[in-house]
Amino acid sequence: MGFTAARPLCHGCTQGEAGSAQAPNSRMSAIVQFENVGLRYGLDSETLSDVSFSLASGGFYFLTGASGAGKTSLLKLLYLAQRPSRGVIRLFGEDVVTLPRKRLPGFRRRIGVVFQDFRLVPHLSVYDNIALPLRVAGMEEGEIDAPVSEMLNWVGLGDRGQARPATLSGGEQQRVAIARAVIGRPEILVADEPTGNVDADMARRLLTLFEALNRLGTTIVVATHDLPLMTQVGGAQMMKLDKGRLSDPTGSLRYPPKPQVAG
């Protein structure tokens, strides 16, 4: 499965349904594996220690823990913005710690990221920010308008397409960041506090978007403090970080599904 922008996520779908009815967790091979991963910034003590877990392809995961516990740090390792100080990280079955630098962009394109601080491109319009992953993936210009317009409407910004990010509220910028992360239907979606700036109704709506993406096969990892939000996704697993160490409240991370055997 490649990074595909050919079939837009929400084109023609209504809230709560999108595309095929593939059940979550139906494809159970490990897409992410961490083994005894440690992360140290400079000479400080370790921010993450002995982090080991596997994520099943097609799973939905919440990452929780107190402020400063290391959630963003763990996600940075996952979306390849940071290398660990020790341990092994495998993405899509390949060791990404020893991967040659020139191969990193290819891996990064398979991962959609909602950054905690949004990181929209300031000189591009809202529309062009959302269209960016489709253009990077080489989609024809004529094919771009329908999915981008639909995504703009989905996140409630149908009339703000030509605005610059700096003129939007925090919650509006967050919705643009989410639209940009999901539009290319990445294989993994990593979202860092994606509902931290929106009201409860919009948070539910955005979660519906993540669930739609998940039904299409994307593995979802959402860092959040929002406990009510976590209870909304049936079948989601929870990972908890406590001072840089991972606990496994549901037990499923210690005993991940066995990788599928080909043939």
Residues at the interface with ligand ATP (CB under 6 A): 41, 47, 65, 67-73, 116
Query: In whole angstroms, what is the distance from residue 213 CA to residue 219 CA?
Result: 8
Q: Are 190 and 114 in contact (CB under 8 A)?
A: yes
Beta bridge partners of 48: 39
Hey, what amino acid is at 251?
A: G
**Residue number, 83 or 109, with CB nearest to ligand ATP:** 83
Binding partner at 52 among ligand ATP, Mg ion, none, C-beta below 5 to 8 Å by kind: none
Beta carbon of residue 12, minimum distance to ligand ATP (angstroms, whole number) = 36
Question: What would the x/- binding string for Mg ion be over residues 64 to 103, using CB under 5 A?
Answer: -------xx-------------------------------
Beta carbon of residue 263, minimum distance to ligand ATP (angstroms, whole number) = 41
Please give the helix or strand (H or E) that residue 61 lies within, else none.
Answer: strand 60-64
Q: If we measure between CA atoms, which residue out of 13, 32, 68 comes closest to residue 218? A: 32
Beta carbon of residue 78, minimum distance to ligand ATP (angstroms, whole number) = 12
Determine the residue with CB nearest Mg ion: 72
Record the tokens describing residue 214, joined without a space.
């998940």
User: Under rule CB under 5 A, which residues in 107-136 are in contact with Mg ion?
Assistant: 116
**Residue number, 27 or 40, with CB nearest to ligand ATP:** 40
Q: Are 84 and 97 in contact (CB under 8 A)?
A: yes
Q: Are 121 and 132 in contact (CB under 8 A)?
A: yes
For tokens 């159970």, name the residue: 28
Q: How many residues belong to the site for Mg ion (CB under 5 A)?
A: 3
Beta carbon of residue 206, minimum distance to ligand ATP (angstroms, whole number) = 18
Give the C-alpha distances (Å, rounded to integers) separating 72 from 45, 66, 81, 114, 150.
17, 11, 11, 11, 30
**Residue number, 8 or 84, with CB nearest to Mg ion:** 84
Q: Which residues bind Mg ion (CB under 5 A)?
A: 71-72, 116
